[in-house]
Amino acid sequence: MSLFISVLLTLFLIFIHQKYKFGADFISSRKVHNLSTSRLGGIAVASSFLISIFLEPKLILFDVYTNLILIFFFIFALIEDIKGILKPSYRLLAIIVCSFLLVLELDLGISNLGVPLLDLFLENLIMSILFSTISLSLLANGFNLIDGFNGLVAGFSIMVLSILMMIAKEASEPEIYFLSNILLMSVLGFFVLNFPFGKIFLGDAGAYFLGLTAGVLALLLAQRTETISYWFVLALFIYPVYELVFSMIRRKFNEKTKTSQADDLHLHHLIYRKVVNCSYFPRKEFCNSATSIIMILLASSSVLPAYIWADSPVVLFSICIIFMAIYTLVFLRLR
């Protein structure tokens, strides 16, 4: 059902843009496309997910309050996609507030990382809630940061949600399995029209919504499954999280700019300019999409091992360190 709804809504949004230019992407020097394109694809993803949940009355985890928080956050971010008037500080505040409310509503406080000093710190309920809030906020921002090429965020989300589904099935967590499946199908309906031709983009609202919702599902899985470590969640999402942290450090100490200052110096931009040879492709959007394939393959170097060693905190921590080292070395080599 969610796949069908997502495809229909995505087609409708493309039609509305072509006819009325509603929701057109803002062309800038950071963009790697020249044609006017709708950036409202997040409407299809979020709407199909929430409608499918509404049609399934037996769900307990995502109750009406959880959905209202997600809806409020999505609408707030959608204003940026349509108007482009929200300051980064306003968006960050909205992300933090909604993450905080979700942590409280779903009792997502992280309290056991298997590291004595950290666990002592997280035994305090307030510290546990704040730590989880910051973690979710970083993830949502990270998803938006890597949303630069056709199919990158959607493809990464499909890979991650597939892993969550498999582990939820193995751990006998039917609700998390069902919710992950609904979100995956909602993304897939958008993906088939976003990749490789770039007929529509996810937009800030879609990227934020995906990062926040996928993060909540992963935390719920780690919380409800004794054998799954919270380090699994980090290893699963280390690509967008490290992209955000690395970019903030780079901007602050190398570029000497604000940490929120947008630029085209992310690894996916460098891959596009220095690795992918666009002369080999008959159309520019294929060159764009080839960059996404490379980045998804890079991300899979942490996602797939995270699934294999989901119950081994030491290995999961090592996976994170190795990925960060690879990312940094590739970035420095291309830069």
DSSP 23-44: TB----TT-S--S--B--HHHH
Count CB atoms within 10 A of the CB of residue 308. 10
Tokens of 133: 């809030």
What is the identity of the amino acid at 12? F
Mean pLDDT along residues 173-202: 95
Tokens of 190: 């958008």
Residues 191, 263, 30, CA angle at the centre, nearest 5°? 55
Mean pLDDT along residues 82-111: 91
**The predicted structure's pLDDT at residue 222:** 93
Tokens of 67: 């959905």
What is the identity of the amino acid at 315? V
Backbone angles phi, psi at 263, to 5 degrees: -155, 180
Backbone angles phi, psi at 50, to 5 degrees: -70, -35
313 pLDDT above the threshold of 70: yes
Q: Say if residues 218 and 106 touch (Cβ distance below 8 Å).
A: no
Give the SS3 label for residue 225: coil
Nearest Cα to Cα of residue 208 among 59, 48, 29, 43: 43
Mean pLDDT along residues 143-172: 96
State the Cα–Cα distance between residues 84 and 5, nearest whole angstrom: 27
State the Cα–Cα distance between residues 34 and 284, nearest whole angstrom: 9
How does residue 27 score in pLDDT terms, banded at 50, 70 and 90?
low
How does residue 31 score in pLDDT terms, banded at 50, 70 and 90?
low
Put residue 4 in one of left, alpha, beta given phi > 0 → left and psi -120 to 50 → alpha: alpha
Cα distances (Å, whole numbers) of residue 152 to 36, 226, 286, 289 = 19, 32, 13, 8
Could you tell me which residue, 247 or 87, shows the higher pLDDT? 247
State the Cα–Cα distance between residues 53 and 67, nearest whole angstrom: 9
| Continuous segment of H or E residues that includes residue 244 | helix 238-250
Q: Say if residues 219 and 140 touch (Cβ distance below 8 Å).
A: no
Backbone angles phi, psi at 22, to 5 degrees: -80, 130
**The predicted structure's pLDDT at residue 277:** 79
Count CB atoms within 10 A of the CB of residue 256. 8
How does residue 68 score in pLDDT terms, banded at 50, 70 and 90?
very high
Nearest Cα to Cα of residue 154 among 92, 102, 196, 216: 196
Q: Which of 79-83, 174-178, 184-188, 191-195 is predicted least confidently?
A: 79-83
Mean pLDDT along residues 143-162: 96
286 pLDDT above the threshold of 60: yes
> Per the omega criterion (within 30 degrees of 0), is the bond before 196 cis?
yes
Most confident of 108-112, 265-269, 275-279: 265-269
